[in-house]
């Protein structure tokens, strides 16, 4: 029982991520004072509960003194459920006007 060989695109994507994205992403520390000044909304995918993106986003929302805004789907809900995501985004933007 051995896993199948990954396809070449998956290998290339993984190598790119490790070479160019992991360090800058994991070492990033947001400027909470600057973000409070511009009223940032932290959005989360409903299906991402407990994942790293969920935990870090909740931590940022807490630092900003806000609650996260939930969107349909997971970390990439805009790709997974584009119609539902767009509907929720429109509702959120309409509220902020």
Spell out the alpha helix ranges (H) of 1-97: 8-16, 22-27, 32-37, 52-64, 77-80, 82-95
Which residues touch 94 (CB under 8 Å, ≥6 apart)? Answer: none
Is residue 18 over pLDDT 90? no
pLDDT of the residue at 27: 84
pLDDT of the residue at 6: 85
Q: Render pLDDT for 42-68 as a digit per residue (tens, 0 to 9).
A: 999 999 999 988 999 999 999 999 999
Q: Render pLDDT for 67-91 as a digit per residue (tens, 0 to 9).
A: 999 999 998 999 999 999 999 999 9
């Amino acid at each position: 029982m051995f896993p199948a060989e990954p396809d070449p695109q998956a290998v290339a994507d993984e190598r790119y991520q490790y070479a160019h994205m992991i360090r800058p992403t994991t070492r990033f520390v947001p400027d909470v004072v600057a973000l409070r000044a511009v009223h940032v909304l932290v959005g989360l995918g409903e299906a991402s509960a407990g994942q790293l993106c969920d935990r870090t986003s909740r931590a940022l929302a807490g630092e900003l003194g806000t609650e996260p805004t939930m969107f349909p789907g997971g970390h990439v809900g805009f790709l997974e459920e584009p119609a539902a995501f767009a509907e929720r985004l429109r509702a959120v933007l309409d509220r902020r006007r």
